Structures are given as C-alpha cells and as structure tokens.
Amino acid sequence: MEKLTLHEYAPSGNCYKIRLVASHLGVTLGRRHYDILNGETRTPDFLRTVNGNGRIPVLQIGDRYLPESGAACFYLAEGSSLIPDDRFDRADMLRWMNFEQYNHEPNVATLRFWLAFIGEGGLSDFQKAQLPGKRAAGDAALDLMERHLADRAFFVADRFTLADVALFAYTHVADEGGFDLASRPAIRTWIDRISALPGHIPIDA
C-alpha cells in the first residue's frame, strides 16, 4: 500500500474513526495535526492541496487526498472483515454510517465540540438557539441506537464492522456533550464490547 498520512485534529471523533480502523487492520498512519480552532484547515494552501471543503479528516494516499471519514474508513477496510461480504449487510453498514453523519454527528458531536471544546460562554446567540434542537435530535439518535442494540451485539451482520466504528467514535464520548448514557444500558454494553476488542485504541492514543 502507498504511504498513508492522516491530516487531522486529534480530538475529532471523525479523525479517531480512521485511526481506529487502521489499528484494527494493523496499518501504520503518518499523522499531521491542524489546529481547527485557529483556522488551519481554511488556509489557501490547505484548500488548494488537501481539501477544498476546508475540513479534516483527510486521508492522504501517496499523492492523492481522500476527504470524509466514511470514505477513508471504507478505503482502508476493503477486503477485511470490517466490511461484510453479504450485499445487503454491506449496504446496511453504509446505512448506519450515513445515519451517523446525518442524524447523529451534527447533534452529538456538535454539542460535544460546543460545550466541551468552546464552552457555553463562548457560543454565539445563534448557536445557543440551536442547543435545544440539537439536544432533542441527538437524544433521538441515541434512542434509535439503544433500541437497535437491545437484541444485537453489533450494528450489522452480528459482527464488528465500520458501522460500529462510525457510531462508536462520538457515542462513547457523548457525555462530554451532556448526553446521558446511564439510561441507555444497551449502548453502554456495546461500548464495553467494542473497547475490549483486540486492536482497539482509545481516542487519545
């Protein structure tokens, strides 16, 4: 495989997903850090070379750049057990990865960033006005996960896949955004299950 470099902001759950996949696969990633709080992913050079969308993570593969955590995880995991062989299961994995990016991350991850990284006092009035809606939507996403995990060990295909990676990243630190996991025992059991897998690494590794 060509040389792999992760362009990242380490505390980001989206960046952690890629490191977690690489760890499970035994793949070594170079890492280049950007301070997103100081706009380092919005510089002309970053926009021209790394990602015109001004965001991390971006997985660099040789001299090519692949933005979007889900795409980078899929690239790394192709041919491994992290992507199911069955056609329906493979699509169902993408379903949960899409759910995470659309219904979970913009609420659970954003409240974590706003409350634990910026701090409520640093939020704009418009951000403060969004707190109740994001709280309700994040709770709804966690409730859907809780119901799905009530009688399952993993999200798809009875085994650990990219769907679990995608949903684990921000769920296991959801308390940092003020979300309550104590009342969601199936999620807590699943977090313990994922954390105990061989190859697992924590978000601050």
Residues that bind its own copies (CB under 8 A): 52-53, 61, 64, 66-72, 74-75, 78, 87-88, 90-92, 94-95, 98-99, 101-103, 106, 126, 129, 133, 144, 147-148
Mapped onto helix, strand or coil, the DSSP state of residue 115 is helix
CA distance 204 to 106: 21
Assigned token pair, 183: 């009342």
* Closest approach of its own copies to the CB of residue 196, in Å: 27
CB of 90 or CB of 135, closer to its own copies: 90
CB of 87 or CB of 204, closer to its own copies: 87
CB of 143 or CB of 175, closer to its own copies: 143
* Closest approach of its own copies to the CB of residue 90, in Å: 8
Return the residue matching tokens 């990243």: 169
Assigned token pair, 197: 């897998």
* Closest approach of its own copies to the CB of residue 99, in Å: 6
* Closest approach of its own copies to the CB of residue 93, in Å: 8
CA distance 182 to 8: 31
Q: How many residues does the chain have?
A: 205
Q: Give 126's contacts (C-beta < 8 A, 6+ positions apart).
A: none
The answer for 178, left when phi > 0, alpha when psi is -120 to 50, beta otherwise, is left
* Closest approach of its own copies to the CB of residue 198, in Å: 25
CB of 64 or CB of 204, closer to its own copies: 64
Mapped onto helix, strand or coil, the DSSP state of residue 204 is coil
Asked if the peptide bond before residue 202 counts as cis, ω within 30 degrees of 0, the response is: no
One-letter identity of residue 205: A
CB of 25 or CB of 200, closer to its own copies: 25
CB of 133 or CB of 202, closer to its own copies: 133
* Closest approach of its own copies to the CB of residue 5, in Å: 15
